[in-house]
Structure 1
């Protein structure tokens, strides 16, 4: 048994108008619905406002003349202003919610050719959200209008999964956005890629504050600017990207820099100053190291974020600024809140979307693509292409991904390292000798005064193992275990240490579980991660 066809549509007060005999010579969208020989409309739900009831009755009679089998139900809607979106949607929503839809017996077409633009949009939304369980129906007039030619019609199914071309364009748009946020770097770290995917969605869907945490040099400032540029490319912001490091703000200059001041507000305030919050109007304000703000500035910032209004220093009149806040910090603000250094209410406000950017040492698989990106960027800036020779490349990457490479400055350290190599490379080739010298420079850089370097830090295996077990160790096993323990102590987690230790063989495995491999290795000696990583000997 075939389903009955039900059309839901608005009366066209202009397009459907006409009462004299001449009306049959013009194209009327609602009447044309029943004039197509290949389509039978079993029922028409004709929506109209009460002032147009007379026209609705004419249309009902004319459809009965053209198609006696079509049932026309006139649905009078009470709305004071058919151009008020809220009112129109509310009235239609109420009608749709009580309508006895029977999708198993009937198919529903939502006619969007007639009615005000507001009504058409509302009907689209109700169908798109499946409150009307059907498809859109669009009708078009014929080139030559007469009684015999009903024009054409088209059905539009809003199930985008059926439109491969559209789906591919949406997917490509998202891939482009992710690539943009990552500066075109083909990162391989699964956790980081998942992080950027969520940040992309939030950046394009939300104007709420975003908090970026992570160590110095992890890329918080760079990511904040890329988020702004992505939003600007989608016409979501019109203002500027305004950045300030809160650690540089002290005393009166802190409030003045952020919120502005009136002339004479304090000694040295010779003229009015707008302040960075007003400069960021309709744009993005990035406050790096937000944890360094003083208590007074924190209170003023909270009001500005919540109410979009604040008082400049020395002024008795509030000013307004509508900006999106992105905050950055290398501190754990939860500890600062607990110790009273950071306002709990401000933390709650900026912590709606919170993301921790991993340091470079936690992303060893991403070092290689970042090195390639930095070399490409250096070539663009200097007009001089530079490449590693095979031996130099292997040596540099082996060190860069090892436990000896602390990358305490994160991407700043890596960028400086590649810049030095590119600058010193003769003939555009980075040699093994240059790499050896650079490794020594990095080891010196990361060695704190008065302490041993990471590679020379001693590991007392005898203190870790029972005396009997330690005495049975071959020299090979002892040296290997010492190296493994050294990497563990330079890592933050078991998984981090495992990624460093199994950096090459992990890519050849179907199932990657670095933490489990390392745990099993330690268990051979009766050791646990906690005992190895936290042992102070």
Structure 2
């Protein structure tokens, strides 16, 4: 099998490679040394250099010396000009353009990127472009002999950035990923596969992106806690240095909304007796969390959009722009698409914050996660009460049987309050059947018989309509619509579904057009027959 060609790409070292007289052979020159190693056969050397006269002349000297030292090595010169060799953006963009245009042939050739020469900025850019596989190569680092009088070509090290080749490193990074996901879940060992996959995706996005993140889900599902956890995770990874600023937009109205978010100057409105910085400025180099963003006014939405895109805004009463570089996290229990359709939410802002959208499920959608959450709450309340709170076996089994079927309208807020009440009333920190029975009776008295139904028609309604919208339906409408959706899902046509649903009306000749009647009913909830069939 023929040997694959070895190609080295590197920058001309304007200082280390310099030299035109005979004494240059007495010195270690990194580019020339590449071809002087007996165990490193370079078939082609791609030399990048600036287009100015001095660099061009030096490149000619180096090319001749390479040909003298290794006649079998072909040297190809490329003029690559940096406007400023110390400007990261300029150097990276220039090298990226070169990488994209270079005709790599990975089937026939192996590539090394020489990172010994060039400015530190250029070396970093070469590393990043190799790590991201724009250069499908390994890194090559060379160094002179320890004895400067030694005329040997020095030494070299080849670095492979494919971490999958290193089991130890791969295990370490995998462990860090698992730790990050556990951190986002507050250390709770959840068992729901869909929820765990969701947290894995959130962890990846939180580390890799600074774009806005939208977290949806019912009230009490944990949006605020997740937002703070995302911030703490990013801060632990040194991705943010600023503060975490948060506000519930449902509490903001009028001038107070503008002032809270964007700040104000003294005298901007009645009561503005001093300057105020505002949350956007507080979140500079940090994270801003706007909970219930659907409640934000249209004027505030417009200013927020500009602040996200341009990083600037005007505080109230000021004619001077203020800048703030923050990452935006948003939370809502509403369907923002409906708000956009009603003109209550700006379409352009929704498009901007909808890049990464994650829906947190309700507690009753994760019954298998109730036991570990119970353990978490018992540990939390034990610390709060200063005593170790436990449950006997009978009490635990009874509470879990109830909790797995209860609707938990307030989700984790209700669940946490329930455990807190039982723990506080428990004598000696031991929750018994008596405390559990009292809590179940209390829940039923306050919430009627709000058990979480797992009936097929209700599950189908949630799948078709979405949990958020289904959760906002009156109980009467929910039961009726669930039955209608079930019939539609099992019918071959709108007319067939209409005939079944309005059979009594047809028998009494009170039904004129069953299909049209059904179509109009579904339209009240933004549904169509084809959509139901598709999602079912």
Q: What residue in structure 1 maps to residue 249 of structure 2? A: 246
Q: Equivalences for 1:519-530 in 2 at 5 Å?
A: none
The structure 2 residue matched to 1:191, chosen from 189, 194, 216, is: 194
Q: What residue in structure 1 maps to residue 28 of structure 2? A: 27
Counterpart contact for 1:261–1:273, Cα < 8 Å: yes
Once residues 313 and 128 of structure 1 are traced to their aligned partners in structure 2, the CA distance between those partners, rounded to angstroms, is: 46
Name whichever of 355-364 and 150-159 sits farther off: 150-159
Name whichever of 181-190 and 70-79 sits farther off: 70-79
Once residues 489 and 75 of structure 1 are traced to their aligned partners in structure 2, the CA distance between those partners, rounded to angstroms, is: 67
1:343 paired with 2:346, answer yes
Q: SS of the residue aligned with 1:427? A: helix
Structure 1 residues 15 and 302, CA, compared in 2 at 3 Å: closer, same or farther?
A: closer
Once residues 63 and 307 of structure 2 are traced to their aligned partners in structure 1, the CA distance between those partners, rounded to angstroms, is: 58
Q: SS of the residue aligned with 1:263? A: coil
Q: What residue in structure 2 maps to residue 176 of structure 1? A: 179
Q: What residue in structure 2 maps to residue 158 of structure 1? A: 161
1:371 Cα deviation from its structure 2 partner: 0.6
Once residues 104 and 318 of structure 1 are traced to their aligned partners in structure 2, the CA distance between those partners, rounded to angstroms, is: 54
1:172 Cα deviation from its structure 2 partner: 1.7
Once residues 363 and 459 of structure 2 are traced to their aligned partners in structure 1, the CA distance between those partners, rounded to angstroms, is: 12
The structure 2 residue matched to 1:135, chosen from 116, 131, 138, is: 138
Q: What residue in structure 2 maps to residue 310 of structure 1? A: 313
Q: SS of the residue aligned with 1:328? A: strand
Q: What residue in structure 2 maps to residue 488 of structure 1? A: 455
Once residues 78 and 302 of structure 2 are traced to their aligned partners in structure 1, the CA distance between those partners, rounded to angstroms, is: 55
Once residues 114 and 298 of structure 2 are traced to their aligned partners in structure 1, the CA distance between those partners, rounded to angstroms, is: 59
Once residues 409 and 32 of structure 1 are traced to their aligned partners in structure 2, the CA distance between those partners, rounded to angstroms, is: 70
Once residues 492 and 205 of structure 1 are traced to their aligned partners in structure 2, the CA distance between those partners, rounded to angstroms, is: 34
Counterpart contact for 2:250–2:295, Cα < 8 Å: yes
Name whichever of 90-99 and 141-150 sits farther off: 90-99
Q: Equivalences for 1:56-455 in 2 at 5 Å?
A: 56-79=59-82, 81-89=84-92, 92-93=95-96, 95-96=98-99, 99-402=102-405, 405-447=406-448, 453-454=449-450
Structure 1 residues 196 and 2, CA, compared in 2 at 3 Å: closer, same or farther?
A: same
Measured against aligned partners, the alpha-carbon deviations of 1:26-81 in whole angstroms (never above 9, x if no partner) come to 32222322332333333333333341344334434444444344344444445554
Counterpart contact for 2:28–2:151, Cα < 8 Å: no
Name whichever of 417-426 and 104-113 sits farther off: 104-113
Number of aligned residue pairs: 466
Once residues 240 and 204 of structure 1 are traced to their aligned partners in structure 2, the CA distance between those partners, rounded to angstroms, is: 17
Q: What residue in structure 1 maps to residue 470 of structure 2? A: none
1:368 Cα deviation from its structure 2 partner: 0.6
1:365 Cα deviation from its structure 2 partner: 0.9
1:84 Cα deviation from its structure 2 partner: 4.3
Counterpart contact for 1:25–1:145, Cα < 8 Å: no
1:220 Cα deviation from its structure 2 partner: 1.1
Q: SS of the residue aligned with 1:262? A: coil
Name whichever of 256-265 and 361-370 sits farther off: 256-265
Structure 1 residues 100 and 345, CA, compared in 2 at 3 Å: closer, same or farther?
A: closer
Alignment RMSD (CA, Å) = 3.1
1:287 Cα deviation from its structure 2 partner: 2.0
Name whichever of 321-330 and 64-73 sits farther off: 64-73
Once residues 370 and 359 of structure 1 are traced to their aligned partners in structure 2, the CA distance between those partners, rounded to angstroms, is: 13
TM-score, normalised relative to structure 1: 0.78
Once residues 125 and 274 of structure 2 are traced to their aligned partners in structure 1, the CA distance between those partners, rounded to angstroms, is: 52
Once residues 337 and 442 of structure 1 are traced to their aligned partners in structure 2, the CA distance between those partners, rounded to angstroms, is: 37
1:97 Cα deviation from its structure 2 partner: 5.1
1:492 Cα deviation from its structure 2 partner: 4.8
- Unaligned segments of structure 1, at least 5 residues: 448-452, 456-483, 497-518
Counterpart contact for 2:312–2:324, Cα < 8 Å: yes
Name whichever of 344-353 and 416-425 sits farther off: 344-353
Measured against aligned partners, the alpha-carbon deviations of 1:325-372 in whole angstroms (never above 9, x if no partner) come to 222222222223323333333333332322221111111111111111
Counterpart contact for 2:49–2:79, Cα < 8 Å: yes
1:373 Cα deviation from its structure 2 partner: 0.8
Q: SS of the residue aligned with 1:215? A: coil
Once residues 320 and 349 of structure 1 are traced to their aligned partners in structure 2, the CA distance between those partners, rounded to angstroms, is: 19
Q: SS of the residue aligned with 2:328? A: strand
Structure 1 residues 395 and 119, CA, compared in 2 at 3 Å: closer, same or farther?
A: same
Structure 1 residues 63 and 287, CA, compared in 2 at 3 Å: closer, same or farther?
A: closer
Q: SS of the residue aligned with 1:381? A: helix
TM-score, normalised relative to structure 2: 0.78
Counterpart contact for 1:29–1:114, Cα < 8 Å: yes
Q: SS of the residue aligned with 1:268? A: coil
Name whichever of 379-388 and 411-420 sits farther off: 379-388
Q: What residue in structure 2 maps to residue 475 of structure 1? A: none
- Unaligned segments of structure 2, at least 5 residues: 464-485, 491-496, 502-520, 522-536
